[in-house]
Structure 1
Amino acid sequence: MRFFRLPAALSSSRLRTASRVPLLQVVKTSVATVAAWFVAILVLPSELPIFAAIAALLVVQPSVNQSFGKAIERSVGVIAGVIIASLIGLLFSGQTWVILIAIVVSILFGWVFRLTPGSANQIPISAMLVLAIGAATPGYAIDRIIETLIGAALGVIINVLIVPPVALGPAERDVTLLTGELASSLERLAAALGTPQTQQQLDALMIQARLLRPMRESAEASVRQGEESLTLNPRQTAHRTRLEDIHRLLDRLSPIVTRVIGMTRAFHDHYDASLVEEPSLQSIAIQLRRAAHDLRLLTRTTEAPDAEPSVDEVPALTAPLRIIRPEPEHWMLFGSLMEDLRRIREEIVGSE
Structure 2
Amino acid sequence: MQDAREWTESLGRLVRRHRDPVVVQALRSAAAASIAYVIALRLSPEPRPLTAPLTALLVVQVTLYSTLTTGIRRVNSVVAGVLVAIAFSLLVGLTWWSLALLIVASLAVGHLVRVDEFVPEVAISAMLVLGVTSVGDTAWARIVETLIGAVVGLGCNLLLAPPVWVDKAGESIEGLARRVRQLMLRVGEEAAGRTPAEQAAARLHEARRLDHDIVEVDAALRQAEDSLRLNPRVREGLLHRVVLRTGLDTLEICTVVLRVITRTLTDLAKEREPDPLFPPETGAVVERLLSEVADAVVSFAVLVTTDVSVNAESAEERLTAELRQAAATRDKLAQLLLEGIQRDARQWQLFGAVLTEVNRIIDELDTEHRSHRLLEELDRCSREQRERMPWVTWLRERLGGGRMPRLQRRNREATPRRSL
Counterpart check, 1:336 vs 2:337? no
Gaps of 5+ in 2: 1-19, 370-419
Once the two structures are superposed, the pairs formed by residues 219-298 of structure 1 within 5 Å of their partners are 219-237=217-235, 240-271=238-269, 272-274=273-275, 275-277=277-279, 280-298=282-300
Q: CA deviation at 1:130?
A: 8.2
Q: 1:309 aligns with which of 303, 311, 317?
A: 317
Q: TM-score, normalised by structure 2?
A: 0.63
Could you tell me how far apart the structure 2 residues matched to 1:62 and 1:118 are?
Answer: 13
Q: CA deviation at 1:43?
A: 3.2
Distance 1:77 1:252, change over 3 A: same
Distance 1:27 1:285, change over 3 A: closer
Distance 1:339 1:71, change over 3 A: same
**SS of equivalent to 2:231:** coil
Q: Which residue of 2 aligns with 1:11?
A: none
Amino acid at match of 1:264: T
1:170-224 deviation per Cα after TM superposition (whole angstroms, max 9, x unaligned): 1111111222232333332222222112355334433433342222222212211
Q: Which residue of 2 aligns with 1:75?
A: 76
Q: Which residue of 2 aligns with 1:34?
A: 34
Q: 1:180 aligns with which of 178, 199, 219?
A: 178
Amino acid at match of 1:52: A
Distance 1:331 1:105, change over 3 A: same
Distance 1:96 1:246, change over 3 A: closer
Distance 1:35 1:268, change over 3 A: same
**Deviates further, 182-191 or 282-291:** 282-291
Could you tell me how far apart the structure 2 residues matched to 1:192 and 1:83 are?
Answer: 64
Could you tell me how far apart the structure 2 residues matched to 1:148 and 1:181 are?
Answer: 48
Kept in 2: contact 1:71–1:156 (CA 8 A): no
**Deviates further, 260-269 or 62-71:** 62-71
Q: CA deviation at 1:166?
A: 0.8
1:12-61 deviation per Cα after TM superposition (whole angstroms, max 9, x unaligned): xxxxxxxx994443332232122112222333346642321210122232
Could you tell me how far apart the structure 2 residues matched to 1:315 and 1:174 are?
Answer: 27
Query: Greater Rg, structure 1 or structure 2?
Result: 1
**SS of equivalent to 1:273:** coil
Amino acid at match of 1:270: L
**SS of equivalent to 1:317:** helix
**SS of equivalent to 2:247:** helix
Q: TM-score, normalised by structure 1?
A: 0.74
Amino acid at match of 2:317: P
Amino acid at match of 2:347: H
Q: Which residue of 1 aligns with 2:168?
A: 170
What is the CA RMSD across the aligned residues, in angstroms?
3.9
Distance 1:41 1:300, change over 3 A: closer
Q: Which residue of 2 aligns with 1:318?
A: 327
Q: Which residue of 2 aligns with 1:4?
A: none
Q: 1:117 aligns with which of 116, 120, 125?
A: 120
Amino acid at match of 2:324: P
Could you tell me how far apart the structure 1 residues matched to 2:131 and 2:177 are?
Answer: 53
Amino acid at match of 2:176: L
**How many residues are aligned here?**
323
1:136-183 deviation per Cα after TM superposition (whole angstroms, max 9, x unaligned): x5xx34x43332122022123234444531111111111112222323
Once the two structures are superposed, the pairs formed by residues 60-71 of structure 1 within 5 Å of their partners are 60-61=60-61, 63-65=63-65, 69=70
Kept in 1: contact 2:180–2:255 (CA 8 A): yes
Amino acid at match of 1:120: A
Could you tell me how far apart the structure 2 residues matched to 1:198 and 1:51 are?
Answer: 65
**SS of equivalent to 2:324:** coil
Distance 1:95 1:217, change over 3 A: closer
Q: Which residue of 2 aligns with 1:44?
A: 44
Q: CA deviation at 1:338?
A: 2.6
Kept in 1: contact 2:77–2:119 (CA 8 A): no
Q: 2:363 aligns with which of 346, 349, 352?
A: 346
Once the two structures are superposed, the pairs formed by residues 130-149 of structure 1 within 5 Å of their partners are 133=136, 137=138, 140-141=139-140, 143-149=141-147
Could you tell me how far apart the structure 1 residues matched to 2:258 and 2:26 are?
Answer: 43
Q: Which residue of 2 aligns with 1:198?
A: 196
